[in-house]
Amino acid sequence: MNEKQYILAVPNFSEGRRKDVVESIVDAVRNIEGARLVSYEPEHDFNRTVVTLIGEPGPIKEALLALAGKSYELINMEEQQGTHPRIGAQDTLPIFPFKNITLDECKALAEEIGEEVFKRYEVPVFFSGANARNEERKALSFIRKGQYEGLKLVAHTDERKPDIGPAALHPTAGATIVSADLEGLTAYNVFLATENLDVAKAIAKGVRGPSGGFSTIRAVGIKFPEREGTVVSMNMFDCGATPLYRAYNFVRDEAARYGVAVTGSEIVGPVKLDYLLNSLEYYLGLENLRKEQILETHLMK
């Protein structure tokens, strides 16, 4: 008997402030059989929402297309503003192998999703991750360079034109990045007891890969208006190779140089159990910890 295949999808759309719009977009994926809405995380300052879905390949494809369609309908990139880099109303549609499915199968599904996005909605598509057409486009930062406002000025050039669709952006929806990859990102924030944003930015520069830090981390220093202090906000692309505790310790040690305390941290959205266990092993000095020792894992089966 063939075992069911499951995919993890972590799309984000460019709205995190208008609650009615966020709810309307997320409603598009609430009741799709075979695709479970795990969570959605609106972020006011970033003005984006990250959605987490788990499901079988077919339903996940339909869920992502429904989500994108609603985002294109309700978000106008000519008006949208926020601190998070973005190029479109439905900024990304990334998928990852979760259970009983290979990366190659996810790559093939991502190609189908990209083709269907343009066919249904006439929104141009960039492929990234394992689906990237060249080495540069494997990185979201390259595709997003200049963001929506800058990209629409250069989308006609060979270097920056979309992979599917005309060499231009959609006039209100922009473009969407579609990808498959082996690991999804974990969003992780570390809070600093300082209002000096320059300190947070300096630490973020030290932690992120392109400026000399961890190759699997991208980071920014920002201020969340709703809370005191500043934040080093990280996208961690491989918490197996670069565990959460290592990023936390790095930020804490860098902050100490400025006489600044770390007041806490948070994981935004779901996280794999393994990524919590490796931090538990580190801080408790545990030897030979097995996942099977955690009773709740037997319920999962």
Indicate the residue type of 154.
V
**Residue 44 is a catalytic residue:** no
Beta strands in 133-209 (DSSP E): 176-180, 186-192
Which residue(s) pair with 39 in the sheet?
52
Q: How far is CA 190 from CA 204, 257, 276, in A?
A: 10, 16, 16
Reduced to 3 states (helix: H, G, I; strand: E, B; else coil), residue 119 is helix
According to DSSP, the β-strands at 230-236 and 125-129 are unpaired
Nearest to 192 by CA among 237, 244, 248: 248
Cα of first residue to Cα of last residue in the chain, in angstroms, is 17
Q: How many CA atoms lie within 13 A of 204 on its CB side?
A: 22
How is residue 224 annotated by DSSP? -
* Pairwise CA distance, residues 97 & 114, whole Å: 17
Catalytic residue among 84, 156, 170, 298: 84
Backbone angles phi, psi at 51, to 5 degrees: -115, 140
Q: How far is CA 151 from CA 13, 88, 143, 170, in A?
A: 17, 10, 8, 11
Please give the positions annotated as active site: 84
